[in-house]
Amino acid sequence: MTLAARLRAGETIFTAWSGIPDSITIETVARTAFDAVTLDMQHGAHHEDSVARGVLPILGAEKHAVVRVPVGRFDMASRALDFGAEAVIAPMINSADDARRFAAAMKYPPLGERSWGPTFGMPRRQKTPDLKAWLKNSNTDTISFAMIETRQALDALDDILDVPGIDAVFVGPGDFSIAWTNGDQINTSLEDMMPAIERIGRRALDAGKLTGIFAVDPAISGRYVDMGYRFIALGNENTYMALGANDLLGRARGSLKK
- Of these, 77, 175, 204, 237, which contacts Mg ion (CB under 5 A)? 175
The CB-of-219 to ligand 3PY minimum distance in angstroms stands at 16
CA atoms in the 13 A half-sphere facing the CB of 107: 20
Q: Is residue 106 within 8 Å of 143, Cβ to Cβ?
A: no
Closest CB to Mg ion among residues 82, 175:
175
- What residues are labeled active site? 43
- Of these, 118, 121, 165, 172, which contacts Mg ion (CB under 5 A)? 172
Helix (H, G, I), strand (E, B) or coil at 38: strand
Closest CB to ligand 3PY among residues 111, 196:
196
Tell me which residues in 64-93 interact with ligand 3PY (CB under 6 A): 91
Closest CB to ligand 3PY among residues 56, 90:
90
Tell me which residues in 161-180 interact with ligand 3PY (CB under 6 A): 172-175
Total residues contacting ligand 3PY (rule CB under 6 A)? 7
* Calpha distance 40→107 (Å, rounded): 21
The CB-of-44 to Mg ion minimum distance in angstroms stands at 12
Q: Report DSSP letters for 216-231, one per residue.
A: SSGGGHHHHHHTT--E
Q: Is 214 in the site for ligand 3PY (CB under 6 A)?
A: yes
Helix (H, G, I), strand (E, B) or coil at 92: coil
Give phi and psi for 91, each to the nearest 5: -75, 160
Of 143, 201, 142, 209, nearest to 173 by C-alpha is 201
The CB-of-217 to Mg ion minimum distance in angstroms stands at 16
Following CA atoms 196, 91, 88, 119 in sequence, which dihedral angle do they give, to the nearest 10 degrees?
Answer: 170
Q: Is residue 213 within 8 Å of 170, Cβ to Cβ?
A: yes
The CB-of-78 to Mg ion minimum distance in angstroms stands at 22
Q: Is 237 in the site for ligand 3PY (CB under 6 A)?
A: no
The contact set with Mg ion (CB under 5 A) reads 149, 172, 175
The contact set with ligand 3PY (CB under 6 A) reads 91, 149, 172-175, 214
